[in-house]
């Protein structure tokens, strides 16, 4: 029968704890980096939605459109707001390629279409 | 010993990563909320400005901007003289955003007619280089070309627009607005208002942002505003005449007195309300958004715009219908330009240009020897020259609003 000394047992336990901690750290880093990238992408996607709204407001891009953005796609829908002339309700939505809706941003903007445009 | 050290280091690293990740996630959430809140607040402001059916205070939920209940909005609309101040407070958790905007009503009375002349059974006579551009509401007796000082009407058409029939009462100014101005002219202030005696002021510069309560500077002595600067949410109320010199810098403020005199070459933008008289000396310039109004209880009101004066805003004078006689009179000397709405419940003598609309009971024209009623000579009234971004002084509250400017905190 092999007798394990108390000191050896402690070393094994300590070694196991260290290994599990390092492994845990490794996975934590991987998960957090993944989360970081996902959050960053959410932020950028949200910015894209806001930019679409801003462009519609500034330049009068009032057509419905679908855009690709780094593996996602963004859909913009425009409709008149309460039938008030020159006021529009814009809904911009971001989807994954599997058609899962990630986020949505709604805005009310004013853009007068002049007769010469 | 080494093992404990390694464990400690590893734990610190894991703890740090979790903490950083937590803060990063919080930062991301806050950043997203901040970006969205700015956009939502702007949307709420747009909706408030264009939708005249809303009643205030309003929470903006009917817009359905977001399904997230953490976003909340509170919109209030207060009067600032002839204009409105729209205040929007947007919240997301602890994050709060407040925006205030100065705005005026978009439309003018009678769909932006150039002229509304009360039907006093007299036809309107025009001569010389007079131009009426835009729809005109005229007495049943109509309009005719005539001679004035040997000068016959030179235009091809009498009116460059439609001719419509006027009634014998002018379209009314917003009652609530007149009550507000009447209260100020009577010096009616609440105990909760911030009131300061003008004589106790030791500084020559005052700035009160519209994010604060209105500051009422009250005086019982005649005021001579000279080498001073008043900006923002300030109402100067005097029970004696006020004289404003070109060295007085007044921005956004209201001046309320029985008589107000703007000395030669004064420039600025304000609202001036008087019980009796407002005089604008030569080359005075009231920039947009300005308003001058006279509410004469004895129907003895007087507004005078001397040569070279330009007013970008509104001019109005009301009469007391309980008085038998109406001696209200308003004179725009030659070379004056009024860009906005003029409503005079009395006589108006015009010698310059009006880019906008005129609502008047009677025109008068005086020469050295004669006095003519309902005569226009060398006058341009042009509704089409009015800027589309122009906002009137709440003369018609049924229309949506035009943003004049965002107010700084």
Contact at CB, A110 and B49, closer than 8 angstroms: yes
Of the candidates B402, B403, B394, the residue with the CA atom closest to the CA atom of residue B180? B394
Helix axes B2-50, A6-59, angle to 10 degrees: 20
Q: How many domains does chain B have?
A: 2
- Model ipTM value: 0.80
Cα dihedral B178/B182/B185/B190 (nearest 10) = -110
Q: Do residues B32 and B171 share a domain?
A: no
Nearest to B39 among A36, A50, A110 (CB): A50
Those residues with Cβ within 8 angstroms of residue A95's Cβ, 6 or more apart along the chain or in another chain:
A72, A73, A74, A75, A101, A102
The answer on B121 and B88 residing in a single domain is no
The predicted model scores a pTM of: 0.84
Searching chain B, which residue's CA lies closest to the CA of residue A44?
A: B32
Q: Which two tokens stand for residue B395?
A: 């003369």
B374 shares a domain with B278: yes
B401 inside domain: no
Chain A residues with beta carbon closer than 8 angstroms to that of B18: 28, 32
Q: What is the mean pLDDT of each run of 10 residues along chain B (409 residues)?
A: 76 81 81 90 90 84 87 92 91 90 73 87 93 94 90 93 91 86 89 87 90 93 94 95 96 96 96 96 94 94 96 93 92 94 94 92 88 92 87 64 87
CB–CB contact B10 A22 (8 Å): yes
Please, are residues B223 and B244 in contact by the beta-carbon 8 Å criterion?
A: no
Q: Give the Cα separation of B18 and B253 in Å (integer).
A: 54
Residue B100 shares a structural domain with residue B116: no
The per-residue pLDDT for range B112-170, each reduced to its tens digit, is 789 999 998 899 999 999 999 999 999 999 999 999 888 999 999 999 999 999 998 88
Domain end, chosen from B87, B105, B123, is at B105
Beta-bridged to residue B105, according to DSSP, are B392, B401
Q: Are B47 and B156 contained in the same domain?
A: no
Q: What is the pLDDT of residue B396?
A: 60
> Can you give the three-state secondary structure of B70-132, one letter per residue?
CEEEEEEEEEECCEEEEEEEEEECCEEEEEEEEEEECCCHHHCCCEEECCCCCCEEEECCCEE
Does B154 lie in the same domain as B28? no
Contacts A22 to B, Cβ<8 Å: 10
Q: Distance from B139 to chain A by nearest Cα, in Å?
A: 33
- In order, the DSSP letters of B8-63 are HHHHHHHHHHHHHHHHHHHHHHHHHHHHHHHHHHHHHHHHHHH-TT--SSB--GGG
CATH code of B6's domain = 3.30.1300
Blockwise average pLDDT, block size 10, chain A, 117 residues = 69 83 82 81 90 91 90 92 90 92 92 63
With respect to residue B395, please indicate whether it lies within any of the assigned structural domains.
no
Q: Nearest C-alpha of chain A: how many angstroms from B208?
A: 31
In a domain, B402, yes or no: no
Domain boundaries, chain A: 6-110
Pairwise CB contact (< 8 Å): A14 & B18: no
Please check whether residues B13 and B91 belong to one and the same domain.
yes
Give SS3 for B327.
coil
Q: Is A62 helix (H, G, I), strand (E, B) or coil?
A: coil
Q: Do strands B71-80 and A101-110 pair parallel, antiparallel, or not at all (unpaired)?
A: unpaired
Does A62 lie at the interface with B, CB-CB under 8 angstroms? Answer: no
Say whether both B100 and B115 belong to one domain: no
Residue A117: the pLDDT is: 42
For chain B, the maximum distance between any two Cα atoms, rounded to a whole number of angstroms, is: 116
Nearest residue on chain A to B11, alpha-carbon basis: A21
Instruction: Provide the shortest C-alpha distance from residue A104 to chain B (in Å).
Output: 8
Does one domain contain both B286 and B176? yes
First to last CA, chain A: 95
Look at A28 and B46 and tell me if their CB atoms are within 8 Å.
no
Shared domain check, B218 and B200: yes
* Inside any domain, residue B398: no
Give the range of the structural domain holding residue B64, as residue numbers without chain letter: 2-105
Asked if residue B397 is part of any domain, the answer here is no
CA–CA dist B80, A109 (Å, integer):
25
- B81 and B229 share one domain: no
Quick one: pLDDT at residue A3? 64
Same domain, B81 and B127: no
pLDDT, position B18: 80
């Amino acid at each position: 029968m092999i007798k394990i000394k108390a000191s050896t047992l402690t070393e094994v336990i300590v070694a196991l704890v260290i290994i599990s901690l390092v492994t845990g750290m490794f996975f934590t880093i991987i998960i957090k980096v993944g989360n970081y990238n996902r959050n960053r992408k959410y932020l950028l996607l949200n910015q894209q939605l806001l930019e679409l709204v801003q462009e519609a407001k500034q330049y009068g891009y009032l057509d419905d459109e679908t855009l690709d953005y780094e593996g996602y796609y963004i859909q913009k829908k425009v409709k008149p707001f309460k039938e008030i002339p020159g006021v529009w309700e814009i809904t911009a939505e971001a989807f994954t390629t599997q058609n899962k809706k990630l986020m949505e941003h709604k805005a009310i903007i004013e853009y007068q279409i002049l007769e010469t445009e | 010993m080494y093992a404990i050290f390694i464990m400690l280091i590893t734990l610190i690293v894991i703890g740090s990563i979790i903490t950083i990740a937590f803060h990063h996630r919080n930062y991301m959430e806050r950043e997203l909320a901040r970006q969205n809140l700015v956009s939502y607040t702007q949307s709420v402001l747009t909706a408030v400005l264009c939708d005249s059916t809303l009643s205030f205070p309003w929470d903006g939920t009917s817009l359905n901007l977001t399904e997230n209940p953490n976003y909340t909005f509170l919109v209030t609309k207060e009067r600032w003289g002839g204009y409105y101040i729209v205040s929007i407070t947007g919240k997301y958790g602890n994050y709060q955003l407040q925006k205030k905007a100065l705005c005026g009503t978009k439309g003018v009375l009678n769909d932006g007619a150039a002229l509304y002349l009360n039907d006093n059974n007299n036809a309107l006579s025009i001569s010389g280089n007079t131009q009426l551009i835009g729809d005109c509401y005229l007495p049943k007796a109509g309009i005719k070309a005539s001679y004035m000082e040997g000068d016959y009407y030179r235009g091809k058409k009498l009116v460059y627009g439609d001719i419509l029939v006027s009634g014998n009462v002018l379209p009314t100014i917003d009652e609530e607005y007149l009550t507000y101005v009447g209260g100020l002219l009577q010096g009616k202030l609440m105990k909760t208002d911030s009131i300061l005696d003008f004589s106790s002021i030791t500084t020559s510069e005052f700035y009160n942002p519209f994010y604060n309560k209105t500051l009422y500077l009250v005086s019982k002595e005649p005021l001579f505003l000279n080498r001073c600067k008043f900006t923002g949410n300030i109402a100067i109320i005097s029970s004696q005449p006020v004289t404003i010199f070109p060295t007085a810098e007044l921005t956004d403020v209201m001046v309320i007195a029985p008589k107000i005199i703007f000395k030669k070459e004064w420039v600025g933008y304000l609202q001036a309300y008087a019980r009796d008289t407002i005089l604008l000396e030569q080359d005075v310039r009231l920039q947009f958004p300005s308003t001058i109004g006279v509410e004469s209880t004895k129907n003895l009101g007087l507004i005078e715009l001397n040569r070279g004066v330009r007013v970008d805003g509104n001019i109005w004078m009301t009469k007391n219908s309980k008085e038998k006689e109406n001696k209200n009179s308003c004179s725009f000397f030659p070379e004056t330009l009024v860009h906005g709405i003029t409503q005079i419940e009395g006589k108006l003598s015009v010698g310059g240009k009006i880019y906008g609309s005129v609502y008047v009971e009677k025109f008068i024209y005086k020469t050295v020897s004669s006095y003519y009623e309902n005569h226009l000579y060398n006058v341009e009234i042009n509704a089409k020259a009015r800027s589309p971004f122009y906002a009137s002084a709440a003369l018609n509250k049924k229309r949506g609003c035009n943003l004049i400017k965002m107010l700084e905190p």
